[in-house]
């Protein structure tokens, strides 16, 4: 995928941070005086670490950061060239004074490697202005252009992160000093064996703990108190947490968001009027970007194309809204609105804040995306459909568990393939797969780190289309049940 990026001038930093915008996209402008230049400098430098490529070859396969100007805030988004880190810097308008020129919209900004030394020169003792774009740029500077040749896997990874943020992760507060201790330990110790993951351990009525492998170093997160079922979530990409070293000293508080084993883990740092979000992904080591593993966790049935467009238009007119407000304003049921918002987020057209539940209309790309090509049907789904159509799926039991804050539907089934497999599936109230278990080799090797196996998918399809599956005697009598299963997802 080729994206043409054209700038009327290079980004400049003096007493003004003048971010140049892509003139091939509709004009987006902002101008205001920065209340705390030092804080903005630090956050932009970390954003620059994520965005700037280390060499020309990587730079050509990286999309320049996208800035979004809205009536209440500015947002800058970056995605690393290796597809491993997504960063978002949100600035409330209260971070500025003397706000002048302002035109809402989304566009790319020139964020070259040479920008870092200039940002280092910012001082809190000097008045600093931030400007984004300007109508006078085209008349003053000579235009520069480059073509960003974006691999399909990179584009898909960026879109997958957007969808992941809408998947209602489990969130909990962390003291900045505790997270800084973890990062310092990683910097001072070199692993000499495997495994090399980071584990979050959740023990009922005890503080949440971070465990670093292979040292088995435990870091209790003081101030946390976990009250759910016992579980352990293993994640990857821990070295990328070092990016937060420049943010944590300025953070008032940090929120960690976890989706599950092998999925992105998100760190949201509130720094006064700024919010810095870092999403770390282990997808570069498996098939999350190349395959469709994450897609198979989403709801299979969703809003129609017409209703999805209706949701988008409502949000575009409002700029920002919560799911409940969109459902009320459009007359579309909340579950369908949720599914439409997931599709829009994965298409790069909606931005979601998992802390306040706000959705915002924003276009990552000016050019239309061929989503059908990017998100091709996974062979596992075809295999699951074949099992269902062949009468090889029997639902044994369906039960509703309403004892958690997040109600789930639990499905037990038998799937006849090369062997007989006992399968368990859990779906949340919006139809997303929250947990699955099978006895097949694919599941034993990967659990859900590469998405569900065909047998879990077959049981899920059988629940969605009960007339196509054989059922046990009490399969459709849904009852409220409590459970102590330690594998229950968040």
The residue assigned the tokens 């999805």 is 308
Q: What is the pLDDT of residue 313?
A: 94
Q: What is the pLDDT of residue 489?
A: 46
**Least-confidence region, from 11-20, 211-220, 302-311, 471-480:** 471-480
283-297-304 Cα angle (round to 5): 120
Quote the CA–CA distance of 69 and 54 in Å, as a whole number. 28
Residues 461-489 pLDDT 10s: 999 876 655 666 555 443 333 333 333 34
Residues 39-82 pLDDT 10s: 999 999 999 888 875 555 666 667 889 999 999 999 999 998 88
Most confident range, picked from 9-13, 99-103, 275-279: 275-279
**Least-confidence region, from 53-67, 161-175, 197-211, 360-374:** 53-67
Nearest alpha carbon to residue 299 among 397, 401, 434: 434
CA 112 → CA 45, 106, 116, 309, distances in Å? 12, 19, 8, 35
- In this prediction the pTM is 0.86
161 Cβ neighbours under 8 A, 6+ residues apart: 79, 86, 264, 279, 281
Average pLDDT, the chain: 85
Specify the higher pLDDT residue, 242 or 281.
242
Quote the CA–CA distance of 329 and 423 in Å, as a whole number. 40
479-484-487 Cα angle (round to 5): 100
Residues 210-254 pLDDT 10s: 999 999 999 999 999 998 888 899 898 899 999 999 999 999 999
b vs e for 26-43, b when ≥16 Cβ sit within 10 Å of the residue's Cβ? Answer: eebbbbbbbebbebbbbb
Structure tokens that stand for 372 in this block: 């059908």
Nearest alpha carbon to residue 152 among 51, 47, 291: 291
What would the mean pLDDT of 429-444 be, rounded to a whole number?
A: 88
Residues 262-278 pLDDT 10s: 788 999 999 999 999 99
Quote the CA–CA distance of 22 and 137 in Å, as a whole number. 11
Q: What is the pLDDT of residue 132?
A: 92
**Least-confidence region, from 23-27, 199-203, 261-265, 404-408:** 404-408
Percent of the chain with pLDDT over 70: 86
Whether the CA torsion 474, 475, 478, 479 is positive or negative: it is positive
Say how many Å lie between the first and final Cα of the chain, rounded: 36
Structure tokens that stand for 281 in this block: 């992904």
CA 345 → CA 155, 350, 352, 363, 374, distances in Å? 13, 5, 8, 10, 14
For residues 17 and 128, the answer to whether their CB atoms sit within 8 Å is yes
172: pLDDT strictly greater than 50: yes
3-state secondary structure the chain: CEEEEEECCCCEECCEEEECEECCCCCCEEEEEECCHHHHHHHHHHHHHHHCCCCHHHHCCCCCCEEEEECCEEEEEEECCCCCEEEEEEEEHHHEECCCCEECEEEEECCCCCHHHHHHCCCCCCCCEEEECCCCHHHHCCCEEEEEECCHHHHHHHHHHHHHHCCCCEEEEECHHHHHHHHHHHHHCCCCCCCCCEEEEECCCECCEEEECCCCEEEECCCCCECCCCEEEEECCHHHHHHHHHCHHHCCEEEEEECCCCCCEEEEEEECCEEEEEEECCHHHCCCCCCCCCHHHCCCCCCCHHHHHHHHHHHHHHCEEEHHHHHHHHCCCHHHHHHHHHHHHHCCCEEEECCCCEEEECCCCCCCCCHHHHCCCCHHHHHHHHHHHCCCEEEEEEEEECCCCCCEEEEEEEEECCCEEEEEEEEECCCCEEEEECCCHHHHHHCCECECCHHHHHHHHHHHCHHHCEEEEECCCCCECCCCCCCCCC
Quote the CA–CA distance of 189 and 286 in Å, as a whole number. 26
Quote the CA–CA distance of 182 and 218 in Å, as a whole number. 9
Q: What is the pLDDT of residue 114?
A: 74
Burial of 457 (0-12, 13-18, 19+ CB in 10 A): buried
What would the mean pLDDT of 119-147 be, rounded to a whole number?
A: 73
Percent of the chain with pLDDT over 90: 50
Structure tokens that stand for 304 in this block: 């129609």
Structure tokens that stand for 211 in this block: 């465990």
Q: How does strand 129-132 pair with strand 16-19?
A: parallel
382 Cβ neighbours under 8 A, 6+ residues apart: none
287: pLDDT strictly greater than 60: no
Model confidence band, residue 12 (pLDDT cutoffs 50, 70, 90): low
Quote the CA–CA distance of 271 and 28 in Å, as a whole number. 25
For residues 37 and 23, the answer to whether their CB atoms sit within 8 Å is no
């Amino acid at each position: 995928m080729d994206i043409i990026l054209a700038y009327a001038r290079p980004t400049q930093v003096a007493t003004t941070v003048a971010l140049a915008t892509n003139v091939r996209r509709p004009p987006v402008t902002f101008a205001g005086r920065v209340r705390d230049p030092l804080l903005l400098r630090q956050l932009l430098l970390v954003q620059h670490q994520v965005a700037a490529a280390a060499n020309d070859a990587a730079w050509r396969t990286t999309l320049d950061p996208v800035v979004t100007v809205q009536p209440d805030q500015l947002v800058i988004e970056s995605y690393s060239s290796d597809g491993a880190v997504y960063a978002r810097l949100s600035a409330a308008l209260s971070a500025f004074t003397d706000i002048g020129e302002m035109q809402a919209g989304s566009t790319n900004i020139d964020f070259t490697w040479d920008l870092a030394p200039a940002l280092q020169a910012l001082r809190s003792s000097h008045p600093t202005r931030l400007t984004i774009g300007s109508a006078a740029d085209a008349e003053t500077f000579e235009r520069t252009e480059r073509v960003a040749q974006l691999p399909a896997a990179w584009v898909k990874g960026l879109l997958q992160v957007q969808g992941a943020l809408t998947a209602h992760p489990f969130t909990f507060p962390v003291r900045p000093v505790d997270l800084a201790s973890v990062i310092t330990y990683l910097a001072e110790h070199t692993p000499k064996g495997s495994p090399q993951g980071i584990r979050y351990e959740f023990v009922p009525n005890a503080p949440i703990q971070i465990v670093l492998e292979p040292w088995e170093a435990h870091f209790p997160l003081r101030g946390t108190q976990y009250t759910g079922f016992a579980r352990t979530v293993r994640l990857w990409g821990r070295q990328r947490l070092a990016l937060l070293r420049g943010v944590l000293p300025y953070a008032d508080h940090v929120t960690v968001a976890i989706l599950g084993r092998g999925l992105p883990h998100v760190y949201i740092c509130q720094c006064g009027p700024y919010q810095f979000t870092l999403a770390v992904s282990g997808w570069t080591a498996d098939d999350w970007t190349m395959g469709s593993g994450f897609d198979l966790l989403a709801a299979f049935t969703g809003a129609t194309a017409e209703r999805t467009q209706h949701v988008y238009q409502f949000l575009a007119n409002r700029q920002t809204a919560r799911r409940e407000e969109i459902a009320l304003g459009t007359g579309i049921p909340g579950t369908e609105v949720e599914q439409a918002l997931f599709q829009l987020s994965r298409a790069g057209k909606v931005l979601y804040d998992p802390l306040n539940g706000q959705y915002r209309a924003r276009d990552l790309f000016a050019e239309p995306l061929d989503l059908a090509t990017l998100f091709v049907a996974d062979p596992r789904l075809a295999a699951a459909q074949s099992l269902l159509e062949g009468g090889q799926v029997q639902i044994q039991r369906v039960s509703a568990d309403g004892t958690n804050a997040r109600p789930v539907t639990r499905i037990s089934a038998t799937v006849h393939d090369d062997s007989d497999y006992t399968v368990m599936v859990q779906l949340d109230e919006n139809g997303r797969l929250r947990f699955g278990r099978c006895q097949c080799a694919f599941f034993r090797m990967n659990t859900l780190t590469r998405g569900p196996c065909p047998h879990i998918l077959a049981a899920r399809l059988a629940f969605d289309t009960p007339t196509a599956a054989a059922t046990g005697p009490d399969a459709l009598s849904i009852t409220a049940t409590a459970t102590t299963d330690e594998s229950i997802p968040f």
